[in-house]
């Protein structure tokens, strides 16, 4: 199935407005999305779990409350997909791992509570690379997700199920998590907007940890406005997450029309050359021109140490993961493979419960932290991280945002890189640095390649610079070439048939 | 007592004490911190290490840690938490959140009752583990048929107080633990109950020939559950080391287990078999940097500590350091000082507190009654024997010494009546009197005893001695 590029799906902004205004029922919205899911989920495999009845009940409840004159919140009746590493009370949450197959969390993640309080309707749990380790969703224990734009290709990862579900019109919004690009890269591959917020802006409570100092939850949507709408709902301080920022969250939605007049935009030299596909570079340059046309000042800048970010990342993330994943031992929950002794039980459980990529990273991380190697590996990586942060600080003395490719290429073929971990890791070259420095970044669709595949460009901003970043993203979105994205903001009415 | 030549060998001891902090909830979650209870009832997602759960530091635990740190004369500093990684079923996350590079308290000391100062290297916060019970296979995890885990204790805040290797014998080690316990209790940080495991002692022991400056190879001894065990384990372990060295062998660095019933230690593991804990900074927590205001507020609220109380008692009552140690331990120091303030004789007050007030109810005595009692003694209204009986009843009933003495008909004998009795006793025992007069000092007790018997204990022993002495010449 290759997408013809003509179909558009309704945006969250339009749905929420129509549902809250009583012109459209949450149930009708849901049914339209469920119908699309029924039609193509068999091909796409975006979900690990769906519960249509529960979603219908929830939509009915929203409709009843709207009828009763209640304000049901900014996401009234908006169908939403949750990545399967975000805990949902009473709903299986597996991280696409045999280890957690069938595990049912006794609590909702903070973001899930916030979405529910804003009137959203959860439709399912999205497939992903196991424990968020991967860039293609091929590392799922439950089989890969296909890219709705071209089903011979991967949707990216690790939030591939989230991206595919939005691209296929199963929901206008999905939550993903981003440790080294896991929201932005699939957003780019599927023609979506994907946001990695400032570290600490969105609570990690209830997000099953991969690399705790890098993980952030963020939205995948058709439009910049939808991403802003969702981010404004899920951001904010959470006393249950010690790394949650105490400062008030920026209200991004209010700044979408700020424009870029006078904005200083840096094109990162190191990410504009070797290893980046020419068509991708062309899109980035075109995007830069669009910003200039809107009044921005674009200049080339240098992040001389950004080349080291991949190395630092592949020490720090596996180190944290090796510790985060040690709790999966068969003792308390999840998979248990019985054996004569406790030690052997743990060993067999972990041997059978984890896939190859997860094991690879656990071993990498364990090694990097072990006595005698700690300083050479983990210690050095943390020092490199500090140096990279210094580079970013220096660059932001001169520019307000950075513009780069999101990925070196457009979506690659299924199985193309699965046996070559290094090639897979290189996919994250443009995205990893903003996780290391904890700063916000987002991918915005901008053009198609010669195969008709979407290209994403990345905007990065300093800590809590989301409002500026989104204002620039809105300008790019308005200037984007035809067909780069699937959704378009418009007013919906029940009889328009636009659902 | 040691089983080796202490003039030749010196024992070097450093203690690591884990104290459970008396907080309402656990170190990183709102699950209750309570001893006992049905297994796996004081638990929550954080305690069980459920996916997605995150730790949030308990401020009360930090406050108690600061209190202890200040009481131990430590510097309270900016600190971070680290993960100590090892697989064990009672450690729900398979890592323990502890402090490694930067502990909250560093560089303090404890003053023992005899005035010795023992250094404190650090006192850091960490979480406790759960409790495993291994069924079958002799109770060891590797041979067990199955194992049960109770996570009630998992996540309970601990303060690990690491002492410097400044101790040189078991008695000092015991005094150190007693003193530390007294401090923990005094500042309200812990109940210090070794028997309930709320205070646990690991002991590092090595030996060296006297005069050597290098430390010997140490062994860490675990499972010490009482002060008595501590002394025994140290003596056993030191003797073991001396015997090894004297036999020309080397001491291997080991972790050993004290077996109280066998009175010996067993090897648990050698240094080579120790886990590589792969410590790294805990990314789920931010640095802990208590403000100067917070630290100073805690300092200003610290109660008077045992060492200070001992010094005060010595200053105000003339107690010896040993007496002061005992009296402060009994919590009677404030009573003694208050009685002296009311005019009581310090030496009598201290003597009572040391010899006649072991009963825990003695803390309820009023200084007025204690002062009155000593006044009655000094004035000759009560003999020492009578005073002892009266004070026992004061503790028992809370009544005033005047009323008790009256009820028993204790009255001072007038000197004439006493002299008459003494003369009668001398007359009745002419042989003994002769020997007494010839210088047999042992007979003093005999005559005093006879006079006491005749006066039904009402006589004052000192007055009797004086009369006997007067009659002799």
In DSSP notation, B315-373 reads HHH---HHHHHHHHHTT-HHHHHHHHHTT--HHHHHHHHHHT--SGGGGG--HHHHHHH
The answer to whether the Cβ–Cβ distance between B52 and A205 falls below 8 Å is yes
Model pLDDT, residue B222: 94
Name the average pLDDT for chain A: 94
Question: Are the C-beta atoms of A214 and A93 separated by less than 8 Å?
Answer: no
CA A232, CA A239: separation in Å to the nearest integer?
Answer: 18
Q: How confident is the model at residue B420 (pLDDT cuts 50, 70, 90)?
A: confident
Q: In chain B, what residues touch A87 (CB-CB under 8 Å)?
A: 51-52
CB neighbour burial string for A285-303, b if at least 16 within 10 angstroms, e if fewer: ebbbebbeebebebeebeb
A46-76: per-residue pLDDT in tens?
999 999 999 999 999 999 999 999 999 999 9
Highest mean predicted confidence (pLDDT) among A481-490, B387-396, B461-470: B387-396
B174-219: per-residue pLDDT in tens?
999 999 999 999 999 999 888 888 999 999 999 999 999 999 999 9
Minimum mean pLDDT range among A137-151, A276-290, B166-180, B396-410 = B396-410
Q: Which residues pair with B163 in a beta bridge?
A: B120
CA B119, CA A8: separation in Å to the nearest integer?
Answer: 73
The answer to whether the Cβ–Cβ distance between A100 and B51 falls below 8 Å is yes
Q: Which residues pair with B205 in a beta bridge?
A: B13, B219
The answer to whether the Cβ–Cβ distance between B283 and A374 falls below 8 Å is no
Higher model confidence: residue A352 or residue B443?
A352
Q: How confident is the model at residue A485 (pLDDT cuts 50, 70, 90)?
A: low
Among candidate residues A19, A94, A30, the one with its CA nearest the CA of residue A58:
A30
Model pLDDT, residue B441: 79
The answer to whether the Cβ–Cβ distance between B51 and A240 falls below 8 Å is no
Q: How confident is the model at residue B138 (pLDDT cuts 50, 70, 90)?
A: confident
A401-460: per-residue pLDDT in tens?
999 999 999 999 999 988 887 777 888 999 999 999 999 999 999 999 999 999 999 999
Q: Cα–chain-centroid distance for residue A19? A: 26
| Shortest distance, CA B274 to any CA of chain A (angstroms) | 12
Q: How many Å from the N-terminal Cα to the C-terminal Cα in chain B? A: 48
Among candidate residues A222, A166, A227, A230, the one with its CA nearest the CA of residue A33:
A166
Count other Cβ atoms within 10 Å, centred on residue B289.
11
What are the residue numbers of the active site of A?
83, 158, 182
Cα nearest neighbour of B150 on chain A? A332
Q: Which two tokens stand for residue A314?
A: 């592949």
Q: Which two tokens stand for residue B387?
A: 């005073």
| Shortest distance, CA B207 to any CA of chain A (angstroms) | 28
Model pLDDT, residue A498: 58
A239-286: per-residue pLDDT in tens?
999 999 999 999 999 999 999 999 999 999 999 988 899 999 999 999
Q: Which two tokens stand for residue A177?
A: 């998590």
Return the SS3 of A66: helix
A159-180: per-residue pLDDT in tens?
999 999 999 999 999 999 999 9
Model pLDDT, residue B1: 53
Model pLDDT, residue A489: 37
Model pLDDT, residue B377: 87
Helix or strand holding residue A394 (H, E): helix A380-395
Mean pLDDT of B460-473: 80
Model pLDDT, residue A190: 96
Model pLDDT, residue A484: 64
HSE (CB half, 13 Å, CA atoms) of B133? 6
The DSSP call for residue A378 is: I
Is residue A194 predicted with pLDDT exceeding 50? yes
Domains of chain B: 9-274 (no CATH), 304-408 (no CATH), 415-472 (1.10.10.410)
Model pLDDT, residue B455: 80
Among candidate residues B46, B133, B198, B101, the one with its CA nearest the CA of residue A241:
B46
Q: How confident is the model at residue A483 (pLDDT cuts 50, 70, 90)?
A: low
Model pLDDT, residue B469: 84
Higher model confidence: residue B472 or residue B324?
B324
| Residue carrying structure tokens 């999905």 | A174
The ipTM is 0.95
Residue A155 neighbours by CB under 8 Å, 6+ apart: A136, A137, A145, A146, A147, A148, A161, A163, A164, A167, A186, A189, A190, A411
Model pLDDT, residue A355: 98
| Residue carrying structure tokens 């410590």 | B279
Nearest Cβ partner of A320 from B147, B283, B285? B283
Question: Are the C-beta atoms of B203 and B221 separated by less than 8 Å?
Answer: yes
A328-346: per-residue pLDDT in tens?
999 999 999 999 999 999 9
| Shortest distance, CA A160 to any CA of chain B (angstroms) | 20
Cα nearest neighbour of A211 on chain B? B283
Distances (CA, A) of A375 to A315, A378, B84, B305: 11, 6, 16, 42
Question: Are the C-beta atoms of A258 and A220 separated by less than 8 Å?
Answer: no
The DSSP call for residue B137 is: G
Model pLDDT, residue A324: 98
CA B9, CA B169: separation in Å to the nearest integer?
Answer: 11
Model pLDDT, residue A495: 40
Give the DSSP per-residue string, B33-50. Answer: --SS-STT-S--HHHHT-
Model pLDDT, residue B470: 83
Question: Are the C-beta atoms of B255 and B219 separated by less than 8 Å?
Answer: yes
Mean pLDDT of A471-476: 98
Q: How confident is the model at residue A494 (pLDDT cuts 50, 70, 90)?
A: very low
Q: What CATH topology corresponds to A12-255+441-496?
A: Amidase signature (AS) enzymes (3.90.1300)
Residue B461 neighbours by CB under 8 Å, 6+ apart: B383, B384, B385, B448, B452
Is residue A181 predicted with pLDDT exceeding 60? yes
Model pLDDT, residue A2: 33
Model pLDDT, residue B412: 60
Among candidate residues A310, A272, A281, the one with its CA nearest the CA of residue A425:
A310
Is residue A210 predicted with pLDDT exceeding 50? yes
Model pLDDT, residue A420: 82
Q: What percent of chain A is modeled with pLDDT above 70?
A: 95
Cα nearest neighbour of A331 on chain B? B89
Is residue B51 predicted with pLDDT exceeding 70? yes
Q: How confident is the model at residue B229 (pLDDT cuts 50, 70, 90)?
A: very high
Question: Are the C-beta atoms of B189 and B68 separated by less than 8 Å?
Answer: yes
CA A217, CA A344: separation in Å to the nearest integer?
Answer: 35
């Amino acid at each position: 199935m290759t997408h013809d590029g003509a179909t558009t799906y309704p945006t969250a902004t339009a749905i929420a407005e129509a549902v809250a205004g009583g012109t459209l029922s949450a149930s009708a919205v849901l049914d339209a999305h469920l119908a699309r899911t029924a039609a193509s989920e068999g091909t796409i495999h975006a979900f690990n779990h769906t519960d249509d009845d529960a979603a219908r009940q929830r939509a009915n409840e929203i409709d009843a409350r709207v009828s009763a004159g209640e304000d049901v919140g900014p996401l009234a009746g908006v169908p939403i997909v949750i990545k399967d590493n975000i805990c949902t009370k009473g709903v299986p949450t597996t991280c696409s791992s045999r280890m957690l197959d069938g595990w049912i969390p006794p609590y909702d993640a903070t973001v899930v509570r916030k979405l529910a309080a804003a009137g959203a309707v959860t439709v399912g749990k999205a497939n992903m690379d196991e424990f968020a380790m991967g860039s293609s969703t091929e590392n799922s224990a439950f089989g890969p997700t296909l890219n709705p734009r071209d089903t011979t290709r991967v949707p990216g990862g690790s939030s591939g199920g989230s991206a595919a579900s939005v691209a296929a019109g199963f929901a206008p919004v999905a939550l993903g998590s981003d440790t080294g690009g896991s929201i932005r890269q699939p957003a780019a591959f599927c023609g979506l907007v994907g946001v990695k917020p400032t570290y600490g802006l969105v609570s990690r409570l209830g997000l099953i940890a991969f690399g705790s100092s890098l993980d952030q939850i963020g939205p995948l949507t058709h439009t910049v406005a939808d991403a802003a709408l969702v981010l404004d709902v899920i951001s904010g301080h959470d006393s249950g997450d010690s790394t949650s920022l105490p400062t008030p969250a920026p209200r991004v939605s209010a700044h979408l029309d700020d424009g870029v007049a006078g904005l200083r935009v840096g094109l990162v030299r190191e990410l504009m050359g070797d290893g980046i596909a020419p068509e991708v570079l062309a899109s980035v340059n075109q995007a830069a021109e669009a910003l200039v046309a809107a009044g921005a000042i674009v200049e080339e800048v240098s992040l001389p140490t950004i080349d080291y970010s991949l190395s630092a990342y592949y020490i720090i993330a596996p180190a944290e993961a090796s510790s985060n994943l040690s709790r999966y031992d068969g003792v308390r929950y999840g998979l248990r493979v019985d054996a004569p002794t406790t030690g052997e039980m743990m060993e067999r459980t972990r041997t059978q419960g984890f896939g190859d990529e997860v094991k690879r990273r656990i071993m990498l991380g364990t090694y990097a932290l072990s006595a005698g190697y700690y300083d050479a590996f983990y210690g050095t990586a943390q020092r490199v991280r500090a140096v990279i942060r210094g580079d970013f600080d220096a660059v932001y003395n001169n520019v307000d945002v950075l513009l780069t490719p999101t990925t070196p290429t457009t979506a690659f073929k299924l199985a193309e890189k699965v046996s070559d971990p290094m090639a897979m890791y290189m996919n994250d070259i443009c995205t990893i640095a903003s996780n290391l420095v904890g700063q916000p970044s987002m991918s915005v669709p901008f053009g198609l390649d010669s195969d008709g595949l979407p290209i994403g460009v990345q905007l990065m901003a300093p800590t809590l610079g989301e409002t500026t970043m989104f204002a620039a993203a809105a300008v790019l979105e308005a200037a984007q070439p035809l067909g780069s994205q699937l959704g378009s903001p418009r007013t919906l009415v029940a009889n328009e048939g636009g659902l | 007592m040691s089983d080796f030549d202490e003039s030749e060998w010196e024992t070097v001891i450093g203690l690591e004490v884990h104290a459970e902090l008396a907080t309402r909830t656990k170190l990183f979650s709102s699950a209750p911190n309570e001893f006992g209870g049905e297994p796996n009832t004081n638990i929550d997602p954080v305690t069980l290490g459920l996916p997605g759960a995150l730790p949030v530091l308990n401020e009360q635990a930090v406050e108690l840690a600061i209190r202890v740190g200040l009481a131990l004369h430590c510097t309270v500093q900016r600190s971070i938490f680290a993960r100590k990684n090892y697989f064990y079923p009672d450690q729900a996350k398979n890592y323990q959140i502890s402090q490694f590079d930067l502990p909250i308290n560093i560089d303090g000391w404890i003053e023992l009752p005899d005035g010795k100062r023992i250094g404190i290297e650090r006192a850091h916060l960490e979480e406790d583990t759960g409790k495993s019970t291994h069924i079958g296979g002799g109770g060891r995890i590797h041979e067990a048929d199955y194992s049960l885990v109770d996570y009630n204790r998992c996540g309970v805040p601990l303060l690990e107080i690491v002492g410097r290797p400044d101790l040189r014998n078991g008695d000092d080690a015991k005094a150190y633990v007693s003193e530390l316990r007294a401090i923990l209790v005094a500042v309200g940080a812990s109940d210090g109950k070794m028997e309930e495991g709320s205070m646990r002692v690991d002991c590092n022991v090595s030996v060296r020939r006297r005069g050597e400056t290098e430390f010997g190879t140490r062994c860490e001894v675990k499972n010490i559950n009482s002060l008595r065990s501590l002394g025994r384990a140290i003596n056993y372990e030191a003797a073991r080391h001396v015997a090894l060295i004297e036999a020309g062998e080397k001491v291997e660095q080991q972790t050993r287990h004290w077996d109280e019933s066998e009175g010996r230690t067993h090897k648990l593991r050698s240094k080579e078999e120790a886990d590589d804990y792969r410590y790294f900074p805990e990314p789920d927590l931010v640095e802990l940097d208590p403000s100067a205001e917070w630290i100073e507020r805690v300092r200003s609220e610290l109660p008077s500590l045992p060492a200070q109380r001992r010094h005060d008692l010595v200053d105000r009552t003339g107690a010896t350091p040993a007496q002061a140690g005992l009296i402060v331990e009994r919590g009677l120091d404030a009573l003694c000082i208050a009685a002296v303030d009311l005019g009581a004789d310090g030496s009598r007050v201290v003597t009572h507190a040391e010899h006649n007030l072991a009963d825990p109810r003695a803390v309820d005595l009023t200084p007025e009654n204690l002062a009155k009692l000593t006044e009655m003694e000094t004035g000759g209204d009560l003999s020492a024997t009578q005073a002892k009986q009266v004070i026992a009843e004061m503790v028992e009933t809370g009544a005033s010494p005047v009323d008790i003495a009256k009820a028993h008909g204790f009255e001072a004998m007038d000197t004439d009546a006493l002299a008459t009795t003494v003369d009668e006793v001398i007359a009745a025992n002419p042989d003994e009197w002769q020997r007494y007069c010839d210088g047999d000092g042992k007979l003093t007790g005999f005559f005093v005893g006879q006079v006491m018997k005749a006066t039904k204990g009402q006589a004052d022993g000192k007055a009797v001695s004086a009369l006997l002495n007067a009659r002799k010449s």
